[in-house]
Amino acid sequence: MSRSVAVTDDMGAEQTYLDGLYERLDQLRAQADGRLREILLESGGTPQGRSQRDAVRSHYTEQLAQMNAVENALCFGRLDFAAQSPRYIGRIGLFAEDRDRDPLLIDWRAPAARPFYLATAVSPDGVTRRRHLRTRGRELLGIDDEVLDLAAANGDGREDLTGEAALLSALTANRTGRMRDIVETIQAEQDEVIRSVLPGVLVVQGGPGTGKTAVALHRAAYLLYTYRQQLTRQGVLILGPNPTFLRYISQVLPSLAETGVLLATLGDMFPGVRARGAEPSPSAALKGEPAMLPVLAAAVADWQTVPHDHVEVDHDGYPLRIDRAVCEDARAAARRSGRPHNIARAHFVTEVVHALSVQIAERIGADPLGGENLLSEADLAETRRELREDADVQAALFEMWPLLTPRRVLRELLTDPDRLASAGASLTAAQREMLLRPAGSPWTPADVPLLDELAELLGEDDTLRRRSAQRQRQQAVEYAEGVLEIVEGSRSLDFEDEEEEILSAVDVVDASAFAERYADVDTRSTAERAAADRTWTFGHVIVDEAQELSPLAWRMLMRRVPSRSMTVVGDVAQTSDLAGTTTWDQVFEPYVAQRWRLTELTVNYRTPAEVMAVAADVLAAIDPGLQPPRSVRSAGEMPWAEPVAPGALAGAVVSAVRREAGAVGDGRLGVLVPEALEDEIGESLTAAIPQVAVGEQPDLRHRVVVMTVRQAKGLEFDTVIVAEPDRIIGESPRGLSDLYVAITRATRRLGILHSADLPKQLSAVLPA
């Protein structure tokens, strides 16, 4: 291939071109801003007119947000061809103002941009030169050129890398605690995944650092660009492992000018519940198993009760007797209907009311001469109506067949030993013991698939719907505030400099008045509406760290995507959750049988070869059949191990962090610890060193972050210090996978501190 070469000759010409692009961007921004202001000031009109106005307003709001987002690195590349004019590649597409609307900048997702990621010297696709433009703000800092010339190939084994100089500079940059987009340096095998077609299940299996998360996010942006209409309506969901991880990746899509994606964790997937509680992994694992399904069905059935013998209610001054046999028949009929509990209730009520109306008819309509009952059909219908409205009758029926919410059923099941014993008869006593928890315990992520399953068993819950209507109004106000902020943020510098006062939308409407104006249209974005609606079905679902999902979590997720249009990224060698999977077949067989596509990513962009050599030994111990991904670079820094006297660990961690902090400059340092030692090590470090983050949701932008391996899933640090690897292995049946994950979080340096013997899988690490 084609080595990348830094060039200085064309700096002036390229800077001029960039200036032209920014000028065009500013011009379009000013136009959109002007249109949005006009629309915000309009009012009244027919409902149809208002809704059209709303669509136009959303369009300009979105355009403005996009144009604001691409300010940095708007244009990052250029392709030169043998027989065509050059193409400039950037974050969005820009066209000239003239009638021909010549393309000035090509969106990286457009087919015309594809050679930027795929062209090689062997297969140049007409490209003669690929140029990377390095910028800061609007200023061009440098140019790297690759001439796609077979004669220049040097057989160094790196023929499959595109834009090597730009890639290596991105990979060796210090980490900031927030993931960056990789749009400038997407590699060919990643591009295949990103641009794969929308339908069907695509599984992306790849070892640590192969860019699975990055690829998943860029795929979302690609799909939204390519299938814009369909996906804007139905929405795209990205499911990540925990809130810290979501924060870590939260900047990537906005930097690609895409904001309409719902990022969520499993714990967010039941509207109205934010499940953040912790629980021991065995109980979380059990909650993810299909064995819970009969337990939930039984838990619902247990609420459908009949009186021991009978109940008596007062109706219209007369005693009415509701017999056990009547209730049993009514319950059987309602259950036979096959409808969910809250809906089948109507059958139950109808049957009991019917039986009671017959009882009344016999009392007041009996013909003293022994003839037919004197009450007409109309009289009986009236009697039934009165019975339904009778508060005592209602209370008795409610007692036997209450309207239920998923939350109530699950809360009582998990806190009431009698209910659990009854519904959980199919479980062992030890399993029931594991599930039981004190009243008032917070919801955990593993509860969420159970709540969702119960929502299916119970049927539509009206209370939720009413609450959501109330929330809608609040969200409308918040949305309006957002729009007004964008209008504010989009005022260009020129406007602010002008002497003359500019009448902006903010001057004339406040957020709540604005929300009123649009009160009859649902102003929430697709992502917001999807988040508030359990029955929402997405156009596409992307699952990251997918190996960790339990069978019941998959069941829940599949309900959200009946089209089975999904991208699933993960690594079955990194599974740490006990209910997670170690084979993809197992996951998809029940839903799509063999109809899923598997792609593998094989190059590790994160972990340098020296660290990966250590990880490879751990991987071999997990399963000798697994292949570690190939590191794209060496860091030239050898991993070290340091024995520590028992009891001296916390002090040793503090010294090691001090030492390593010097070595990584303004980079980030992750201290990965066994769960049992997290508090102790966290406290020692916090007391000794500034800028240490520790706890449930640590701020990754701090210089030093102390966390368990479970928390560190999907993250990365310039230096990783692993404390007590033998305890990490011992803490879980999947402890070796945890150690593998811990080691592969490093982008540069790895250190190990151990008071026990170094585990044999790490014997290749040199003493410090």
Ligand X SMILES: Nc1ncnc2c1ncn2[C@@H]1O[C@H](COP(=O)(O)OP(=O)(O)OP(=O)(O)O)[C@@H](O)[C@H]1O
Contact with ligand X (CB under 6 A): which of 75, 186, 423, 685? 186
Q: Is 211 annotated as a binding residue?
A: yes
567 touches ligand X by CB under 6 A: no
**Considering the rule CB under 6 A, would residue 116 count as an interface residue with ligand X?**
no
Q: Which of residues 368-427 bind ligand X (CB under 6 A)?
A: none
287 is in an annotated binding site: no
Q: How far is the CB of 718 from ligand X (least distance, A)?
A: 11
Distance, in Å, from the CA atom of 397 to the CA atom of 403, rounded to the nearest integer, reads 10
Query: What is the nearest approach in angstroms of ligand X to the Cβ of residue 72?
Result: 16
Q: Where are the alpha helices (DSSP H) in 416-545?
A: 417-423, 429-435, 447-458, 462-489, 493-497, 505-508, 511-517, 526-531
DSSP strand pairing (127-136 vs 103-107): unpaired
- Residues 501-530 contacting ligand X, CB under 6 A: none
Backbone angles phi, psi at 537, to 5 degrees: -115, 130
Pick the closest to residue 131 from 256, 255, 8 (CA basis). 8
410, 302 Cβ separation under 8 angstroms: no
128 backbone dihedrals φ, ψ, rounded to 5° = -105, -30
Is 208 a binder of ligand X (CB under 6 A)? yes
540 and 194 Cβ atoms separated by less than 8 Å: no
Query: Applying CB under 6 A, does 214 fall inside the site for ligand X?
Result: yes
209 marked among binding-site residues: yes
Q: Which DSSP category does 518 fall into?
A: T
**208 marked among binding-site residues:** yes
Under the binding rule (CB under 6 A), the answer on residue 211 touching ligand X is: yes
Phi, psi of 239 (to 5 degrees): -100, 125
CA separation, residue 572 to residues 214, 549, 567, 576, 613 (Å): 18, 11, 15, 9, 19
The interface with ligand X within residues 601-620 (CB under 6 A) comprises: 605-606
- Counting residues that bind ligand X (by CB under 6 A) gives 23
Question: Which two three-digit tokens encode residue 686?
Answer: 């916090």
- Token pair belonging to 90: 């950037």
Q: How far is the CB of 438 from ligand X (least distance, A)?
A: 35
Which span sits near ligand X by CB under 6 A: 22-30, 60-68, 185-193, 448-456? Answer: 185-193
Write down the least CB distance from residue 141 to ligand X, Å. 18
Q: Answer yes or no whether residue 171 interacts with ligand X by CB under 6 A.
A: yes
Q: What angle do CA 370, 375, 376 make, to 5 degrees?
A: 125
Region of 148-156, 186-194, 255-263, 449-457 interacting with ligand X (CB under 6 A): 186-194
For residue 188, the minimal CB distance to ligand X (Å) is 10
Q: How far is the CB of 488 from ligand X (least distance, A)?
A: 32
- The answer to the question of whether 212 is labelled as a binding residue is yes
> In the complex with ligand X, which residue's Cβ is closer, 94 or 707?
707
Question: How many whole angstroms separate alpha carbon 392 and alpha carbon 84?
Answer: 84
Q: Out of 110, 170, 380, 609, point to the residue binding ligand X (CB under 6 A).
A: 170
Pairing of strands 596-601, 236-240: unpaired
Closest distance to ligand X from the beta carbon of 605 (Å): 4
Which range, of 203-211, 230-238, 370-378, 676-684, touches ligand X by CB under 6 A? 203-211
**Residue of the chain from 63, 66, 120, 213 that contacts ligand X (CB under 6 A):** 213
Segment interacting with ligand X (CB under 6 A) among 151-159, 205-213, 258-266, 367-375: 205-213
CB of 632 to ligand X, least distance (A): 9
For residue 448, give the 3-state DSSP assignment. helix
By beta-carbon proximity to ligand X, the closer residue of 218 and 407 is 218
Alpha-carbon distance 604 to 305, whole Å? 59
Within 8 A by CB and 6+ apart from 211, the residues are 182, 187, 190, 601, 603, 605
| Residue placing its CB nearer to ligand X in the complex, 234 or 576 | 576
Backbone angles phi, psi at 105, to 5 degrees: -145, 135
CA 26 to CA 67: how far, in whole Å? 9
> Contacting ligand X (CB under 6 A), which of 4, 61, 66, 187?
187
For 19, what's the count of Cα atoms within 13 Å in the CB-facing half-sphere?
6
Strand partners, 601: 206
402 among annotated binding-site residues: no
Which residue number, 447 or 718, has a Cβ lying nearer to ligand X? 718
Q: Does residue 222 interact with ligand X by CB under 6 A?
A: no
Q: Which is nearer to ligand X, 213 or 719 (CB)?
A: 213
Site string for ligand X, 692-731 (x = CB under 6 A): ----------------------x-x---------------
182 lies in the site for ligand X, by CB under 6 A: yes
Candidates 649, 744, 748, 753; binder of ligand X (CB under 6 A) is 744
**Among positions 124, 209, 243, 449, the unique one binding ligand X when judged by CB under 6 A:** 209
The answer to whether 571 contacts ligand X (rule: CB under 6 A) is yes
Identity of the residue, 552 or 618, whose beta carbon is nearer to ligand X in the bound complex: 618
What count of other Cβ atoms lies within 10 Å of the Cβ of residue 97? 11
Eight-state DSSP code of residue 594: T
Q: Determine whether 330 is exposed, middle or buried from the number of CB atoms within 10 Å of its CB (0-12, 13-18, 19+).
A: buried
Closest to ligand X by CB, 225 vs 605, is: 605
Q: Is 80 exposed, middle or buried (0-12, 13-18, 19+ CB in 10 A)?
A: middle
Contact stretch for ligand X (CB under 6 A) within 163-171, 311-319, 398-406, 757-765 = 163-171
Q: How far is CA 551 from CA 458, 645, 652, in A?
A: 21, 43, 42
Q: Tell me which residue has tokens 């709303």.
A: 54
Residues 738/732, Cβ–Cβ less than 8 Å: yes
**Least separation, in Å, of the C-beta of 406 and ligand X?**
32
Task: Say which amino acid occupies 194.
Answer: I
Q: Which two tokens stand for residue 120?
A: 């090689």
Q: Which of 57, 212, 345, 407 binds ligand X (CB under 6 A)?
A: 212
Find the part of the chain contacting ligand X (CB under 6 A) among 92-100, 138-146, 212-220, 400-408.
212-220
| Residues making contact with ligand X (CB under 6 A) | 167, 170-171, 180, 182, 185-187, 190, 206, 208-214, 571, 605-606, 714, 716, 744
Binding-site members for ATP are 206-213
Binding-site members are 206-213
